[in-house]
Structure 1
Amino acid sequence: MGFKVENNRFNEILKNLKQEYKIYAPKRFEKRGRFSDTDLIKYGEISSVEEIVWNEKSQFSPKEVVYPITQTLFYFTEEEYRESLVHDKKILIFLRPCDINGMRRLDTIFLQNGPFEDIYYKRLREKVKFVMMECKESFDNCFCVSMNSNHTDNYSIAVSFKENEVYLDVKDEEFLDILKAYDEIDFKPEYVKENKFTVNIPDQEKITIDLFNNELWKDYAKRCIGCGRCNMSCITCSCFTTQDIAYDENPQSGERRRVWAGCHIDKFTTMAGGHDFRTDYGSRMRFKTMHKIYDYNKRFNEHMCVGCGRCDDRCPEYISFSKCINIVNEVLEKEENNNVK
């Protein structure tokens, strides 16, 4: 059901919802960007529609709302441990279609990837309802259409922001009750139909071990610096490490935390005894690429990457993941043509 609400009245709705919900949206943090005098757009709690940055792409994804950068799992003493607690509010997240599809990939990894669910992820994730922000024009470096992530019906509310109004498509009964006093309209969200950049996904059947040993990965060994910005900005990167933090007052008590990690970052593959593999950066690029478009697909029948393009946006060496996928496809096509000859 569609509604039209003026901004000031929408702010009243947000104010009322904040009694039960933590509300997150892409938000501007002034002078905190990667270059001098530039702003950072990332997810944070909001109280008004004016705080929501809907006409620019956020540099970071909303995944940290349900999968925090650092998260205490439990506290321990010499004799016992106690699981950490979470806030008692529900969660409302304003996000784009590609990110909703990305959150579903996280659900797959944390809740369906093996016999056990990740309770620390689940207890936050089950609080979440999505407000999908209409996204009908592609940003630079986006390739969501190629990854089939430009569309979704998985939302409680869809919103389109106008100059002084918000248009809403409401599917959740809870929010229908809140909005029934407002003007009904015929509104359905539009979606991106074409990106500025097209990615050609390699045919899974054509990928062989030869691709993993191809010379193309050596170029990335020279260019990548292992900073991990691509991992940290990606909506579907889910790797983490764990740390035991001992308290100064009593070194035998403390807490265990899990902290984001990533395949591009040094020491990610360090094992007991000091053994380390994928030490060159080209092999790390190969691992990430094949996981996003091959390994995950073999198991779950869809690509892990959703084409948000944040990795391309954030890379200080201007390495393009989308172009890497195209290069992989070109290599495979060339090999196939050579075999035919």
Structure 2
Amino acid sequence: MRKEYPCVEVKLSKITHNAKQVLSMCNAKGIEVIGVTKVFCAESPIIQAMLRGGITQVGDSRIQNLKKIKDMKCRKMLLRISMESEVEDVVKYSDVSLNSELDTIKALSRAARRLNKFHNIILMVDVGDLREGVLVEDVIPTVQEIFKLDNINLVGLGTNVTCYGGVLPDRDNLGKLVKLKREIKETFNIELPLISGGNSSSLYMVMENTMPREINQLRIGEAIVLGRETSFGKSISNCYDDAFILKGEIVEIKNKPTVPTGKIGMDAFGQTPHFEDKGIRRRAIIALGRQDAKVDGLIPLDKSISIFGASSDHLIIDVTDSKKSFKIGDIVEFKMDYGCLLAAMTSLYVNKYYEKELAIASI
């Protein structure tokens, strides 16, 4: 098959492998895993690879993505707190949703009643990161109101840290959820089955055996797709970091200076660039730009290649020190960080190819 560039090649067998590793590590601590699909736009081949790895529940932040996988045989979670304008779709296409606003939960209750369904929710609690969540002191009054609603099942408490404020999960802030669960049991004589203790940033606690035993669910994306926890960026043992490879085609290659000639002003993105004078270098231009990917998240597989910069449509790289003699039409390969992967998989201009029968070497 002739491939069109730029493209992302997805090694599905490595996704399956990583899913198995993460699931095994979490299940050993009594923690269920929600496989997060938003970074790859809930593309069916990748979800199927996760399911082959043992994942039985997936989560996405976009209701559009849950709609397109409505017939997949797995439980589905809406990760972004529900919009009041989409409550009927939330009830239709998710088995459980994360929520923090009582008015929205009431709207979900009305929607569920209209649809003759029961809808499960996890109440999000802000333990310090200042993204979504009810403040700790407001949890009990909020829970009291939720218990009055028809067709709504409160199945647990959850939190999200690291993504906005950079607050690390630890025994203190996750311990607040544990205390709240106990307080709910004492106040209402109801045992909530779930404490959803965050995302891939919480995995380091599983790895270090410091996770409170009451935390029994994590929502994991990056660890499965890129093989690393996200609090400290450490690789997870026996996981792959190259399941997704971005490839771009060289459209120009010339020896040029490293400092532009003329007065420097703003670039196309409103920034004033600065240049280090390295003399004449062998510079290749790839048909891949900021409209396609987050270029500062690109990691060349050829470690002798460095990136000069990019415009909307062109990536400029330094190939002077590479052992390969590059020419027009050659393909350059990159690993990606999470932000770059998110942009590339979302871009309409980046083609996606799935390697279904890829033999993988043991790590």
**TM-score, structure 2 length as denominator?**
0.22
> Which has the greater radius of gyration?
2
**TM-score, structure 1 length as denominator?**
0.23
